[in-house]
């Protein structure tokens, strides 16, 4: 933390052991936030914690083991991080799964994991966070969706896209409550380099590096945008076009 920089609040990030979650942790720490980091791979969280504290020794970084498909554990961990951080100002439901197979091809278990992680797990995180935010009368819930949520995607992407569409609708439902003091954001990342897409990077259009893509996410989150396609170029235009393009064209993006 830069000399004289004030603490800006506390953020809980799930799926923080790698990829977009880990990079968000680095960038939010640099902005002055204390962090609660949760993921299944606690050894990676410990390494990330040490990295962040070495760069920003005045920050507070709490870590917790968490499988978001365990709803009871989600509520327990969020409540514990709320206690350890002295309050939660923002929760980013980032944990996700990209595994999957075309329906009817023997990939039921992979699709089930993705649906449970990306949708049911997000509902659990949202429920736990909203308990905290309703009680304190303020907060910022951020749900990470995907550009694939805009339209149906083919084969291995079908379940993933459907689960991310569910996330976006859940965010809209929460906003419809018109809760005073509580902001709800849904972020639609385009193709940002991460562990999840490492196996398809050579054929992924408009791919940006992790730091660049996450910077766009952080900017949108800091502005408390209700809905944001990131990075803005080209995904704002792509997102608008995808709603009207024939499926024969949309399929080329998946």
| Catalytically annotated residues | 160
C-beta of residue 106 within 8 angstroms of C-beta of residue 156: no
Chain-centre distance of CA 70, in angstroms? 17
Nearest Cα to Cα of residue 169 among 191, 153, 150, 156: 150
Instruction: Tokens for 45, please give them.
Output: 């969280």
Chain-centre distance of CA 209, in angstroms? 17
Q: Which residue carries 């954001």 as its tokens?
A: 185
Nearest Cα to Cα of residue 200 among 211, 209, 210, 191: 191
Q: Using CA atoms, how far apart are residues 181 and 242, in angstroms rounded to an integer?
A: 33
Q: Using CA atoms, how far apart are residues 141 and 125, in angstroms rounded to an integer?
A: 9
């Amino acid at each position: 933390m830069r000399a004289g920089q004030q603490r800006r609040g506390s953020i809980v990030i799930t799926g923080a052991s790698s990829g977009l979650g880990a990079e968000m942790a680095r960038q939010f720490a640099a902005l002055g936030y204390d962090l609660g980091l949760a993921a299944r791979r606690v050894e990676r969280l410990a390494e990330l914690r040490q990295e962040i504290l070495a760069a920003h020794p005045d920050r507070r970084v709490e870590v917790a083991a968490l499988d978001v498909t365990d709803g009871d554990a989600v509520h327990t961990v969020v409540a514990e991080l709320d206690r350890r951080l002295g309050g939660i100002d923002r929760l980013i439901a980032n944990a996700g799964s990209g595994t999957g197979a075309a329906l009817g091809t023997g990939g039921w278990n992979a699709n089930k994991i993705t649906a449970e992680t990306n949708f049911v797990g997000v509902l659990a995180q949202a429920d736990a966070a909203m308990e905290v935010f309703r009680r304190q009368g303020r907060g910022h819930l951020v749900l990470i969706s995907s550009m694939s949520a805009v339209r149906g995607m083919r084969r291995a992407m079908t379940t993933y896209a459907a689960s991310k569409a569910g996330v976006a609708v859940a965010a809209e439902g929460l906003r419809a409550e018109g809760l005073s003091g509580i902001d709800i954001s849904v972020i639609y990342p385009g193709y940002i380099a991460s562990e999840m897409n490492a196996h398809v990077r050579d054929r992924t259009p408009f791919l940006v590096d992790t730091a660049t893509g996450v910077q766009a996410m952080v900017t949108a989150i800091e502005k408390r945008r209700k809905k944001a396609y990131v990075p803005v170029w080209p995904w704002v235009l792509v997102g608008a076009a995808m709603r009207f393009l024939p499926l024969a064209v949309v399929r080329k993006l998946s």
